[in-house]
A and B are shown apart, each in its own frame.
Chain A
Amino acid sequence: MELYRLTAHELLDKLSKKEISPLDLISSVRERIKNNDGLVNAYVRLVDRPAEFKLPPQKNGALCGIPISIKDNICTESLNTECCSKILTGFKPPYDATVIKKLKEAGAVILDTKTNMDEFAFGSSTENSCFGPTHNPWNLDCVPGGSSGGSAAAVASDEAIMALGSDTGGSIRQPAAFCGVVGLKPTYGRVSRYGLIAFASSLDQIGTFTKDIPDCCLLMNVISGHDPMDATSIDVPVPNYIKSLGKNIKGLTIGIPQEYFIEGLNSQVKSIVEEAIAELKKLGAAVKEVSLPHTEYAVPVYYILGTAEASSNLSRFDGVQYGYRANSSNLVQMYKKTRGEGFGQEAKRRILLGTFALSHGYYDAYYLRALKVRTLIKNDFDAVFKDCDCIITPTAPTEAFRIGEKTEDPLQMYLSDIYTISVNLAGIPAISIPCGFTKAKLPVGLQIMAKPFGEETLFQVAHAYERSTQWHKLKPKLQ
């Protein structure tokens, strides 16, 4: 049986009935990766490991025996975590991220090879990786999106049962849309960031890639919750997300922001999303047009705040304690050469942008002003959520683009996150679910947003849609 093709909830059922063993499962996934990843390159530092396998100690955990793939920027104890950057070559964290701890406690099996990503999560295509680009399983000439492209492609190509990624401006939702899987960015503070190697601390959030909504609920049940090690995690009780499943959506109000259906939105993507909205209407939801008037400022605000925080967060990579160190005769030279040789082009670009934005004399005009506009963007959402249960938009303005198509034009690349960035600025949760295919047989994602800690609403709406459609069941034929 091709166990790797199944979802976690299907596998948990088989595991509990003892139809299969955890060893069968991990072997199946490993075999799949071995046979497939030459084409996709979803994983980095792949090594052929012996089939030996130690069963996790927890026998009753919620994810007992389920293999989980982890993005290369989430710390795993004694297991290389390099953010797909040369500067972190050989870095083995001495500790587990809180999410990893929680997964282990739930009996999940952490895969010993990590998923590919844009270096330090800087990118929307997974082309900025020191390990080479990941390929979109639906069309190997296309990008899988990014920055969590490895995790998205792994789940889409059945090289993973479920995966973790991180989302700073769309890094989970956009690749989920491009690869036709379910990708959730939780509310800021819902999932601990402890152990997530920071890109932009005020925007980063760990989230999930799964094959369907029930799996997303399962995984969120495990990784959510307040963490005393993360001062920005919020102490709000975690509901049992499984209970959001199977509910109808009659009486719910869905807001459609006019600012998201504008020039630049691919016409095929537009009509596919409109069909999805029509489907939800049919299922009983009320749909109304709403306005998020400050949407146009989201991209510039994001690239000021995000790069400013990144320039600061990445200053610790200096060759002193860990990772790559360039040979040099003195301290300042070591700093310069290590960082010059260790960071890729996009990382350098963002460090320079951020350093500029924080510099004396520019701070007020850029950083401070961006902070203020961020508040306006958040206020837009607060206003809409007074009358709406959720907001629905396309996840990305286009289908997956071709590898190399946008690498020479960073601005074009930045615009591929135009629909996802506001969510991070506002700190709200949003999910991308498969909602159809373009003529080129590339997946399209539907983005659903809710108010802070409104994940249950996302699951309710997404699951209602998932049950009445079959998009999530379609699999790419790798060629």
Chain B
Amino acid sequence: MTYEPVIGLEVHVQLKTRTKVFCGCSTEFGNEPNTQVCPVCLGFPGALPVLNRLALEYSIKVGLALNCTVQEFTKFDRKHYYYPDLPKNFQISQYDLPISKNGYLEIQINGVSRRIKICRAHLEEDAGKLIHEENHSLVDLNRTGQPLLEIVTEPDIFSPEEAYEYLVNLKSIIQYLEVSDCDMEKGTLRCDANISVRPKGSSGLGTKSEIKNLNSFKAVRDALEYEIERHSETLNAGEKIIQETRLWDDKKSQTVSMRSKEEAKDYRYFPEPDLPPFIISKENLSEIKNTIPELPKEKKSRFIQVYGLSEYDAGILVMSKQNADYAEERLKIYPEKDKKPVANWIIGPLTATASNLKCEVSELQIIPEDFVALIDLVEKKQVISNLTGKTVLEKMAKTGKSPDLIIREENLAQNSDEKSLEKEVDAVIQENPKVVADVKIGKNNSLMFLVGQVMKRTKGKANPKIVQEILKRRFA
């Protein structure tokens, strides 16, 4: 029998507030263990939590951006379990009145849009970190009390690809809101996946497994693929799926059983008596709404409409807000009507240059005016070839000099003088009789080889278009 998967994702996003969610300790990453702690986050007797307003605001922002209903009345609850990474042995979380409920996120797969239903987004405090060593474990409580937003989807995802797209888009939206770095390596975005399978075309839900230790979006996709296969094989062999938590092993590309969840835990939730409930007024809500920037989806359609970019190019440019802003600054000042070259140059050569220099595109020291000037020199004025253009771009990035200056200093301007180019072409024809014979029987590749030879002779300065024209005339 063939099966189809039903997937739900729980994403934990660490909010980028300067201080922790219930105390004034710093949230900075990577410091000495147990140096960012105080009586409150250590859960010392008598210490009390006080909510970080910004964490609440950030949570509301995400809720709004995910099309959720932000509740007027919200409260915190205590979730109890014993573990050394949780100093109070309860976590302040939200149970029945999360900040946001019933939203969705739109994804596109192969040009088809679908809304993934989001069931809730609630704010809670992070636990500490345990470092397990040979015969003991170490506790680092720097992370304890950092604000976490848990975003939970309905079991409304039906393929690993959808799960992947959901995550990519969620990350993009949250980064647009500038409320989290969403860096899986640093643990500022964490994802657990619930998956079950059912006979294709049926409704209802099978027994699920929960997958943890997913370190990248790719790992999520791979682990889900693996689980679909495992579930299907198990069922086809006439066996039952056990409800359990499984860990993804990235190296072995498989999941392994961590613990069975047959006896459901009783967390004994009850309202946190140390924090009064919060009323989010309509005014507060609209104030926060006003701080939400244009989100990737809207930006993408605007880029297509206003700058005439393709779906594909616009999609790439808007993935991160930083890059989108970077691109728009340049699209705006590019003097030509057709803005596509700007997109091409950013997605292509500029991204390559940044990656060569191991930095972000936005960190390159190329001012917008120089960048569009370069594109103009290549595309319209044809002062230099595409290839030379890339070299000039690299030099601009390294030196901060303008393209004009680099071209002048290094004498890189293209030779478009027909007469001198004819001489070069003729020389190449003489040197390559065999290739010339191939060209004559219609081998186009061979013609391009000859163009290349001319470029080589002229150290890349020949205008390749003119060279090609001359060659074509010669063999006409």
Q: Give the interface of A toward B (CB within 8 A).
A: 74-75, 81, 83, 88, 91, 93-95, 97, 193-198, 200-202, 228-232, 308-309, 311-312, 315-318, 320-322, 331-332, 335, 355, 358-360, 363, 367
Note all chain A residues with C-beta closer than 8 A to B48: 193-194, 229-232
Can you list 9 A-B pairs with a CB-CB distance of less than 8 A?
Answer: A75-B45, A93-B44, A94-B44, A232-B273, A312-B270, A320-B139, A358-B270, A359-B268, A363-B270
Contact assessment for A318 and B89 in the assembled complex, using a CB-CB cutoff below 8 Å = yes
Q: Provide the bound-state CA to CA distance between A74 and B45, in Å.
A: 9
Knowing that A202-B273, A232-B276 are A-B contacts, what are 17 other residue pairs whose CB atoms are under 8 Å apart, sorted by A's residue number? A75-B46, A81-B46, A83-B45, A93-B46, A95-B47, A194-B46, A197-B46, A198-B45, A229-B50, A231-B51, A232-B273, A309-B270, A309-B273, A312-B270, A315-B89, A316-B45, A321-B42
Across the interface, B46 reaches (CB within 8 A) one of A195, A315, A320, A367, namely A195
Note all chain A residues with C-beta closer than 8 A to B45: 75, 81, 83, 88, 91, 93, 197-198, 316-317, 322
Q: Provide the bound-state CA to CA distance between A312 and B139, in Å.
A: 22
Contact assessment for A316 and B270 in the assembled complex, using a CB-CB cutoff below 8 Å = no
Note all chain A residues with C-beta closer than 8 A to B84: 320, 331
Query: Least Cβ distance of A77 to chain B in Å?
Result: 11
Note all chain A residues with C-beta closer than 8 A to B49: 231
Q: Does B129 contact A (CB under 8 A)?
A: no
Note all chain B residues with C-beta closer than 8 A to A202: 273
Note all chain A residues with C-beta closer than 8 A to B276: 231-232
Q: Whose C-beta in chain B lies nearest to the C-beta of A203?
A: B273
Q: Whose C-beta in chain B lies nearest to the C-beta of A335?
A: B82
Q: Does B230 contact A (CB under 8 A)?
A: no
Enumerate B305-360 residues with CB–CB distance to A below 8 Å.
none
Q: Whose C-beta in chain B lies nearest to the C-beta of A318?
A: B89
Query: Least Cβ distance of B51 to chain A in Å?
Result: 7
Q: Provide the bound-state CA to CA distance between A308 and B50, in Å.
A: 21
Q: Does B266 contact A (CB under 8 A)?
A: yes
Note all chain B residues with C-beta closer than 8 A to A335: 82
Q: Does B39 contact A (CB under 8 A)?
A: yes
Given contacts A316-B89, A318-B82, A321-B87, contact A97 B46 (CB under 8 A): yes
Query: Least Cβ distance of B79 to chain A in Å?
Result: 10
Q: Give the interface of B toward A (CB within 8 A).
A: 39, 42-51, 78, 80, 82, 84, 87-90, 139, 264, 266, 268-270, 273-276
Contact assessment for B270 and A198 in the assembled complex, using a CB-CB cutoff below 8 Å = no
Q: Is the interface of B mostly helix, strand, loop or mixed?
A: loop
Q: Provide the bound-state CA to CA distance between A365 and B82, in Å.
A: 25
Q: Whose C-beta in chain B lies nearest to the C-beta of A360?
A: B266
Query: Least Cβ distance of B255 to chain A in Å?
Result: 26
Note all chain B residues with C-beta closer than 8 A to A321: 42-44, 87
Note all chain A residues with C-beta closer than 8 A to B88: 315-316
Across the interface, B268 reaches (CB within 8 A) one of A194, A228, A355, namely A355
Note all chain B residues with C-beta closer than 8 A to A331: 84
Query: Least Cβ distance of B249 to chain A in Å?
Result: 25
Given contacts A231-B48, A231-B49, A335-B82, contact A312 B268 (CB under 8 A): yes
Q: Provide the bound-state CA to CA distance between A335 and B84, in Å.
A: 10
Contact assessment for B268 and A316 in the assembled complex, using a CB-CB cutoff below 8 Å = no
Note all chain B residues with C-beta closer than 8 A to A317: 45
Q: Is the interface of A mostly helix, strand, loop or mixed?
A: loop
Across the A-B interface, give the 3 residue pairs with the lowest CB-CB distance, nearest first: A201-B273, A315-B89, A358-B268
Query: Least Cβ distance of B366 to chain A in Å?
Result: 48
In this complex, the member of B87, B88, B89, B275 whose beta carbon has the largest number of chain A beta carbons within 10 angstroms is B89
Q: Whose C-beta in chain A lies nearest to the C-beta of B50?
A: A231
Q: Provide the bound-state CA to CA distance between A228 and B47, in Å.
A: 12
Note all chain B residues with C-beta closer than 8 A to A97: 46
Q: Provide the bound-state CA to CA distance between A197 and B269, in Å.
A: 21
Note all chain A residues with C-beta closer than 8 A to B139: 320
Query: Least Cβ distance of A265 to chain B in Å?
Result: 32
In this complex, the member of B39, B49, B139, B275 whose beta carbon has the largest number of chain A beta carbons within 10 angstroms is B39
Query: Least Cβ distance of A393 to chain B in Å?
Result: 26
Note all chain A residues with C-beta closer than 8 A to B80: 312, 315, 358
Note all chain A residues with C-beta closer than 8 A to B273: 200-202, 232, 309
Q: Provide the bound-state CA to CA distance between A95 and B84, in Å.
A: 23
Note all chain A residues with C-beta closer than 8 A to B270: 308-309, 312, 358, 363, 367
Contact assessment for A322 and B266 in the assembled complex, using a CB-CB cutoff below 8 Å = no
Q: Provide the bound-state CA to CA distance between A91 and B50, in Å.
A: 24
Query: Least Cβ distance of B90 to chain A in Å?
Result: 6
Contact assessment for A231 and B275 in the assembled complex, using a CB-CB cutoff below 8 Å = yes
Given contacts A95-B39, A194-B47, contact A201 B274 (CB under 8 A): yes
Q: Whose C-beta in chain B lies nearest to the C-beta of A234?
A: B276
Across the interface, B274 reaches (CB within 8 A) one of A232, A311, A322, A367, namely A232
Q: Provide the bound-state CA to CA distance between A15 and B226, in Å.
A: 81
Note all chain A residues with C-beta closer than 8 A to B47: 95, 194-195
In this complex, the member of B82, B88, B266, B270 whose beta carbon has the largest number of chain A beta carbons within 10 angstroms is B270
Q: Provide the bound-state CA to CA distance between A358 and B42, in Å.
A: 24
Contact assessment for A198 and B46 in the assembled complex, using a CB-CB cutoff below 8 Å = yes
In this complex, the member of A311, A312, A317, A322 whose beta carbon has the largest number of chain B beta carbons within 10 angstroms is A312
Q: Whose C-beta in chain A lies nearest to the C-beta of B265?
A: A360
Given contacts A201-B274, A312-B90, contact A196 B268 (CB under 8 A): no
Q: Provide the bound-state CA to CA distance between A74 and B90, in Å.
A: 22
Q: Provide the bound-state CA to CA distance between A203 and B275, in Å.
A: 13
Q: Provide the bound-state CA to CA distance between A355 and B270, in Å.
A: 11
Q: Provide the bound-state CA to CA distance between A202 and B139, in Å.
A: 31
Q: Provide the bound-state CA to CA distance between A75 and B270, in Å.
A: 26
Contact assessment for B82 and A315 in the assembled complex, using a CB-CB cutoff below 8 Å = yes
Q: Whose C-beta in chain A lies nearest to the C-beta of B43?
A: A316
Q: Provide the bound-state CA to CA distance between A363 and B78, in Å.
A: 14
Q: Provide the bound-state CA to CA distance between A359 and B270, in Å.
A: 10
Q: Provide the bound-state CA to CA distance between A309 and B46, in Å.
A: 14
Note all chain A residues with C-beta closer than 8 A to B268: 311-312, 355, 358-360, 363
Note all chain B residues with C-beta closer than 8 A to A367: 270
Query: Least Cβ distance of A122 to chain B in Å?
Result: 15
Query: Least Cβ distance of A55 to chain B in Å?
Result: 27
Q: Whose C-beta in chain B lies nearest to the C-beta of A197?
A: B45
Q: Provide the bound-state CA to CA distance between A437 and B268, in Å.
A: 46
Query: Least Cβ distance of B214 to chain A in Å?
Result: 26
Q: Provide the bound-state CA to CA distance between A228 and B48, in Å.
A: 10
Note all chain B residues with C-beta closer than 8 A to A75: 45-46
Note all chain A residues with C-beta closer than 8 A to B89: 315-316, 318
Note all chain A residues with C-beta closer than 8 A to B78: 312
Query: Least Cβ distance of B203 to chain A in Å?
Result: 28
Q: Provide the bound-state CA to CA distance between A434 and B342, in Å.
A: 87
Query: Least Cβ distance of A380 to chain B in Å?
Result: 22
Q: Whose C-beta in chain A lies nearest to the C-beta of B83?
A: A331
Query: Least Cβ distance of A350 to chain B in Å?
Result: 15
Note all chain B residues with C-beta closer than 8 A to A201: 273-274
Given contacts A91-B45, A231-B48, A358-B268, contact A320 B87 (CB under 8 A): yes
Query: Least Cβ distance of B347 to chain A in Å?
Result: 49
Query: Least Cβ distance of B332 to chain A in Å?
Result: 46
Query: Least Cβ distance of B226 to chain A in Å?
Result: 32
Q: Whose C-beta in chain B lies nearest to the C-beta of A202?
A: B273
Note all chain A residues with C-beta closer than 8 A to B87: 316, 320-321
Note all chain A residues with C-beta closer than 8 A to B266: 359-360
Q: Provide the bound-state CA to CA distance between A321 and B42, in Å.
A: 9
Q: Provide the bound-state CA to CA distance between A230 and B46, in Å.
A: 10
Q: Provide the bound-state CA to CA distance between A196 and B266, in Å.
A: 28
Q: Provide the bound-state CA to CA distance between A95 and B89, in Å.
A: 21
Q: Provide the bound-state CA to CA distance between A196 and B46, in Å.
A: 5
Note all chain B residues with C-beta closer than 8 A to A198: 45-46, 274
Note all chain B residues with C-beta closer than 8 A to A318: 82, 89
Query: Least Cβ distance of B14 to chain A in Å?
Result: 22
Q: Whose C-beta in chain A lies nearest to the C-beta of B266?
A: A360
Query: Least Cβ distance of B268 to chain A in Å?
Result: 4
Note all chain B residues with C-beta closer than 8 A to A193: 48
Query: Least Cβ distance of B52 to chain A in Å?
Result: 11
Note all chain B residues with C-beta closer than 8 A to A309: 270, 273
Query: Least Cβ distance of B145 to chain A in Å?
Result: 14
Note all chain A residues with C-beta closer than 8 A to B264: 360
